């Protein structure tokens, strides 16, 4: 299947920084080191099961440091110390050994840390240990997130040191370097707080399940399933991209991993069908970004949000259903409109897998996914559900011989678990220093109050400030950092000003931090997809912003009407869901120049449809009626609104499609 779709040189166009080199580095290690890597990964899984199921009583802090001892060393072993370190060298072995020893030391002193005050430190050795852990985790940030990520973590993590030199709302009481480092490492408001707790108690189960799914071939199954369902439809390859990325997004936990894995297959397929390179790249970037928002398993921000707002994860999953479905529906309507306008047909039947055969091959994955949804939404066993689902998957693979986890596959499973958990820790633990920098000074409430004052009572101004911060941090790939900062500052400000629903505010922040991946001028997901599609990055990112327009306005809509996230009366949910479906059809029609069941439309009609659609979807009856009036004006006279069929046939030629 894949061989028919892949361009032979796709892999050579993927930027070097996005190529997964962990397997090669792992194989370059001596065999006894590889054995230790797998043993540590397995020990981490066992430790998580023991702690989360309560088989052996462990202090939270002791468990966190033991888990760090198992997985943080893998960050240094699997990610290079510098660009040309293709094989693991001493610059990776030394920090791996150091963080292992320090984490074990802190696990041993866990009870002492809990029952005594280590901020400020009581003994000189405590400061040396804190400093070493701080520096090593900063190096993990550099390896996993790059230099820009490292600089921002340092600047915000050490903010208390220079806060007394800053003006206005950024001013904070002076703090010493020693106290700041101790606070960042030892405080429950920093490294031992919300981020580590979420990783160690919630995300770990889902990453273990994801590793098992990857090892048993679930990613390939969901891609085949998407092809079998959507492949024959008009513009089939593009619709496959939308569906497959939605499926795979929950497994990968990474927008960029999603772009590389599914995009390497779907982008060449779209280009082969007649979609321009910039359109194919933009659509894959949008679909991969949406995968992070698709229930039941969303990105790390959703788990942190649940802990931060003291909300059950199942409530967040339910809240995200309508926005995520509307987003993917918007992508689907865009694709259908473009394919109809340019007369791009579906794929040939012989190129596609059989739906029946695909389901027979991968039915265990469907059952596991169904159980995961049942466990999260009905049983509400947030931390335990992924472990039960993993056990169910293992049992079902024994029924299905092709999927069975044989002894030969076990090392691969533990390698995947170790890789996913180490990279997650390498990215998320440094963000706890950002949280610590804000919490140590106590400036968060001051910033919130100042935002209210700056807004002058206008919620629009405060939202604009928050959106700007979200997009700037999101452009740097710091989605979790953006959420944490604004959850401490913007969310309280909005609650003070307008009494807006708390969950709606936090989802709004998460969505706007995520959509930065497709927002010019630094749309990282679109830039990466453009390398695969061999198209201009700026043009690709502009099209990504156009195709992903739903992600820009839906968060604003549910902010003002929480019923769209099931935080209001169901009759309002039904009304505004219907209005937004109509709005999306109209906006996509105006965007693509082809309205479903109407035909190709003129430029002035396209403008009215986009404006009218936005007004219809906005949850306020007067603007909705105005929107319907604009649409009626645009469409009431097809003679003036539609382009003639001769124009349609001329622009649907193969030459026009190629251009």
Q: pLDDT digit string (tens) for 86-140?
A: 889 999 999 999 999 999 999 999 999 998 889 888 899 999 999 999 999 999 9
- Structure-model confidence comparison of residues 583 and 297, the more confident one: 583
- CA–CA separation, 544 vs 481, rounded Å? 23
- CA–CA separation, 526 vs 434, rounded Å? 27
pLDDT at 183 over 50: yes
Count: domains in the chain: 2
Supply 601's token pair: 């439309």
Q: What is the distance, to the nearest Å, from the Cα of residue 480 to the centroid of all Cα atoms in its chain?
A: 9
132-174, pLDDT tens digit by residue? 999 999 999 999 888 988 998 999 999 999 998 988 878 888 8
**Which candidate, 175, 176, 172, 153, places its Cα nearest to that of 432?**
153
- CA–CA separation, 178 vs 68, rounded Å? 23
Residue 402 pLDDT: 77
**Which candidate, 484, 124, 571, places its Cα nearest to that of 301?**
484
Domain for residue 117, yes or no? yes
Q: At which residue do the structure tokens 């007649």 appear?
A: 274
Helix 385-399 to helix 355-374 angle, to the nearest 10 degrees? 150
Residue 250 pLDDT: 62
In this structure, are residues 642 and 606 in contact, taking their beta carbons and an 8 Å threshold?
Answer: no
Using CA atoms, how far residue 145 sits from 10, 153, 181, 249, 522, in Å, is: 24, 10, 21, 19, 16
Q: Model confidence at 298, in pLDDT bands (50, 70, 90)?
A: confident
44-68, pLDDT tens digit by residue? 999 999 999 999 989 999 999 999 9
- CA–CA separation, 291 vs 285, rounded Å? 10
Q: Model confidence at 181, in pLDDT bands (50, 70, 90)?
A: very high
In this structure, are residues 552 and 517 in contact, taking their beta carbons and an 8 Å threshold?
Answer: no
In this structure, are residues 477 and 518 in contact, taking their beta carbons and an 8 Å threshold?
Answer: no
Averaged pLDDT, 536-541: 91
- CA–CA separation, 404 vs 39, rounded Å? 21
Helix (H) or strand (E) holding 340: helix 313-342
Using CA atoms, how far residue 199 sits from 65, 302, 416, 468, 608, in Å, is: 12, 12, 16, 28, 47
Averaged pLDDT, 599-607: 90
**Which candidate, 541, 567, 657, places its Cα nearest to that of 271?**
657
- CA–CA separation, 97 vs 58, rounded Å? 24
Last residue of a domain, one of 112, 144, 176: 144
Domain for residue 3, yes or no? no
Domain for residue 80, yes or no? yes
Residue 453 pLDDT: 75
Residue 11 pLDDT: 56
Residue 261 pLDDT: 77
Q: At 403, is the secondary structure helix, strand, or coil?
A: helix
DSSP code at position 15:
-
Q: Model confidence at 476, in pLDDT bands (50, 70, 90)?
A: low
Using CA atoms, how far residue 383 sits from 378, 408, 419, 432, in Å, is: 14, 29, 21, 21
Phi-psi region of 214 (alpha: psi -120 to 50; beta: other; left: phi over 0): alpha
Using CA atoms, how far residue 204 sits from 53, 130, 141, 142, 303, in Å, is: 13, 25, 19, 22, 11
pLDDT at 257 over 80: no
Q: Model confidence at 508, in pLDDT bands (50, 70, 90)?
A: very high
- CA–CA separation, 642 vs 523, rounded Å? 34
**Which candidate, 300, 277, 326, places its Cα nearest to that of 207?**
300
Averaged pLDDT, 267-293: 89
Neighbours of 118 (CB within 10 A): 20
Q: At 405, is the secondary structure helix, strand, or coil?
A: coil
Residue 18 pLDDT: 61
Residue 329 pLDDT: 94
Supply 156's token pair: 């915000």
- Structure-model confidence comparison of residues 472 and 573, the more confident one: 573
- CA–CA separation, 651 vs 636, rounded Å? 25
User: How many helices and strands in the chain, by DSSP H and E?
Assistant: 37, 2
Burial 495-524 (b: 16+ CB within 10 A, else e): eebeebbbbbbbbbbbbbbbbbbbbbebbb
551-595, pLDDT tens digit by residue? 999 999 999 999 999 999 999 999 999 999 999 999 999 999 999
pLDDT at 388 over 80: yes
Q: Side-chain half-sphere of 247: how many Cα atoms within 13 Å?
A: 24
Residue 542 pLDDT: 93
What would you measure as the largest C-alpha separation in the chain, in angstroms?
A: 84
What pTM was estimated for this model as a whole? 0.87
Averaged pLDDT, 14-23: 70
Q: What is the CA radius of gyration of the chain?
A: 25
Domain for residue 89, yes or no? yes
Using CA atoms, how far residue 15 sits from 501, 519, 532, in Å, is: 41, 19, 9
DSSP code at position 517:
G
Domain for residue 140, yes or no? yes
Domain for residue 613, yes or no? yes
Average pLDDT in the chain: 87
In this structure, are residues 197 and 204 in contact, taking their beta carbons and an 8 Å threshold?
Answer: no
Averaged pLDDT, 481-505: 84
What is the residue range of 658's domain?
585-659
Last residue of a domain, one of 144, 168, 188: 144
Last residue of a domain, one of 144, 165, 190: 144
Residue 272 pLDDT: 86
Domain for residue 343, yes or no? no
Domain for residue 533, yes or no? no
Supply 512's token pair: 């706007």
Q: Model confidence at 251, in pLDDT bands (50, 70, 90)?
A: low
Q: At which residue do the structure tokens 């088989």 appear?
A: 55
Residue ranges of the alpha helices (H) in 53-158? 60-78, 90-108, 110-115, 124-145, 147-157
Supply 276's token pair: 């321009």
Supply 580's token pair: 């937004």
Q: Model confidence at 7, in pLDDT bands (50, 70, 90)?
A: very low
Q: At which residue do the structure tokens 């019923």 appear?
A: 563
Averaged pLDDT, 285-291: 88
């Amino acid at each position: 299947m894949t061989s028919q779709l892949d361009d032979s040189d796709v892999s050579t166009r993927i930027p070097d920084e996005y190529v997964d080199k962990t397997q090669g580095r792992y194989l370059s290690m001596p065999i006894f080191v590889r054995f230790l890597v797998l043993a540590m990964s397995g020990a981490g899984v066992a430790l998580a099961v023991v702690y989360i199921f309560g088989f052996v009583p462990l202090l939270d802090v002791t468990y966190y440091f033991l888990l760090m001892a198992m997985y943080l060393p893998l960050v240094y072993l699997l990610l290079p110390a510098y660009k040309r370190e293709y094989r693991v060298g001493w610059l990776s072995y030394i920090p791996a050994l150091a963080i292992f020893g320090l984490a074990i030391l802190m696990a041993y002193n866990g009870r002492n840390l809990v029952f005594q005050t280590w901020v400020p430190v009581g003994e000189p050795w405590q400061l040396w240990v804190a400093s070493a852990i701080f520096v090593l985790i900063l190096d993990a940030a550099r390896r996993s997130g790059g230099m820009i990520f490292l600089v921002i973590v340092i600047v915000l993590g050490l903010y208390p040191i220079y806060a007394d030199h800053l003006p206005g709302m950024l001013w904070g009481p002076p703090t010493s370097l020693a106290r700041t480092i101790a606070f960042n490492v030892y405080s429950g408001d920093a490294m031992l707080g919300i981020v580590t707790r979420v990783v160690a108690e919630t995300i770990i189960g889902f990453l273990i399940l994801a590793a098992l799914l990857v090892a048993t071939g679930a990613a390939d199954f969901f891609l085949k399933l998407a092809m079998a369902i959507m492949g024959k439809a008009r513009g089939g390859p593009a619709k496959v991209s939308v569906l497959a990325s939605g499926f795979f997004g929950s497994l990968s936990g990474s927008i960029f991993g999603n772009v590389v894995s599914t995009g390497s297959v779907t982008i060449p397929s779209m280009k082969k069908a007649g979609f321009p390179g910039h359109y194919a790249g933009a659509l894959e970037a949008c679909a991969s970004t949406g995968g992070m928002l698709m229930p039941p398993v969303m990105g790390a921000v959703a788990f942190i949000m649940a802990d931060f707002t003291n909300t059950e994860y199942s409530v967040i999953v339910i809240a995200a259903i309508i926005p995520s479905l509307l987003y993917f529906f918007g992508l689907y309507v865009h694709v259908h409109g473009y394919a109809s306008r340019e007369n791009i047909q579906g794929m040939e039947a012989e190129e596609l897998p059989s739906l029946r055969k695909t389901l027979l091959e991968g039915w265990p994955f469907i059952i596991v996914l169904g159980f995961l949804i049942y466990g999260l939404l009905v049983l509400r066993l947030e931390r335990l559900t992924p472990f039960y689902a993993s056990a169910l998957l293992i049992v079902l693979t024994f029924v299905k011989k092709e999927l069975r986890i044989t002894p030969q596959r076990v090392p691969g499973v533990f390698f995947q678990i170790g890789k996913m958990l180490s990279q997650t820790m390498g990215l998320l633990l440094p963000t706890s220093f950002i949280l610590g920098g804000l919490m140590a000074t106590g400036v968060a409430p001051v910033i919130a109050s100042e935002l209210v004052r700056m807004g002058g009572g206008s919620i629009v101004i405060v939202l604009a400030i928050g959106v700007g911060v979200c997009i700037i941090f999101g452009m740097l790939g710091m989605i979790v950092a953006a959420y944490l900062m604004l959850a401490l500052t913007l969310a309280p400000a909005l609650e003070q000003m307008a009494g807006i629903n708390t969950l709606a505010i936090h989802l709004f922040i998460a969505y706007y931090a995520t959509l930065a991946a497709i927002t010019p001028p630094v749309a990282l997901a679109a830039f990466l997809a453009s390398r695969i599609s061999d198209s201009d990055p700026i043009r690709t990112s502009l099209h990504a912003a156009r195709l992903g327009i739903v992600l820009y306005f839906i968060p604003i809509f549910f902010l003002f009407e929480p019923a769209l996230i099931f935080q209001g009366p169901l009759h309002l949910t039904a009304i505004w869901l219907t209005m937004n479906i109509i709005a999306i059809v109209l906006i996509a029609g105006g965007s693509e120049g082809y309205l479903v069941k109407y035909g190709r439309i003129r430029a002035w009609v396209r403008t009215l449809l986009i404006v009218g659609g936005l007004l219809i979807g906005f949850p306020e009856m007067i603007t909705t009626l105005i929107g319907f009036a604009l649409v009626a004006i645009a469409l009431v006279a097809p003679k003036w609104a539609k382009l003639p069929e001769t124009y349609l046939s001329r622009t649907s030629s193969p030459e026009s499609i190629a251009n």
